[in-house]
């Protein structure tokens, strides 16, 4: 059973790291470090830490959607292809949003 717990947390870690990389590319070093460290919120094994992680990952998913909309607008304005971009960044946003699901107390917190 502990192996299953760890496997379900892989999307949380990957979402945090990709969000950190995105923020680092934007020059926001402190936010990038904070985003990459998000999975550490699972260490305290408290419901409040889990809820905070869920909220921050949801904000991360919204950031991906915001970024997607901005880049699509730019590409459309210049007549460049944008459909593949929607698939890729849309998938990243979806995985980040769905990674919120494994964080509840049943996976990370003692009861």
Residue 40 has pLDDT above 60, yes or no: yes
3-state secondary structure of 35: helix
Question: Taking the CA of residue 33 as centre, how many other CA atoms within 13 Å lie in the half-sphere pointing to its CB?
Answer: 2
Tracing tokens 């003692």 back to the chain, one arrives at 110
pLDDT tens sequence across 60-108: 999 999 999 999 999 999 999 999 999 999 999 999 999 988 654 444 5
Query: In whole angstroms, how far apart are CA 4 and each of 7, 11, 50?
Result: 5, 13, 18
Residue 2 has pLDDT above 80, yes or no: no
Cα(75)–Cα(55) distance, integer angstroms = 30
| Mean pLDDT calculated for residue range 26-40 | 95
Residue 1 has pLDDT above 70, yes or no: no
Give me the count of residues in the chain. 111
Mean pLDDT of the chain: 89
Residue 111 has pLDDT above 60, yes or no: no
What pLDDT is recorded for position 8? Answer: 80
Rounded to two decimals, the pTM is: 0.85
Element (H, E) at 82: none
């Amino acid at each position: 059973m502990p192996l299953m717990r760890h496997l379900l947390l892989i999307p949380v870690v990957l979402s945090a790291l990709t969000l950190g990389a995105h923020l680092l590319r934007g020059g926001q070093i402190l936010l990038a470090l904070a985003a990459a460290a998000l999975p550490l919120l699972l260490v305290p094994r408290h419901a409040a830490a889990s809820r905070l992680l869920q909220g921050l990952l949801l904000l991360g998913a919204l950031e991906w959607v915001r970024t997607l909309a901005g880049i699509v607008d730019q590409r459309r304005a210049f007549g460049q292809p944008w459909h593949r971009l929607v698939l890729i960044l849309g998938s990243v946003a979806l995985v980040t949003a769905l990674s919120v699901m494994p964080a509840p107390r049943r996976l990370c917190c003692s009861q």
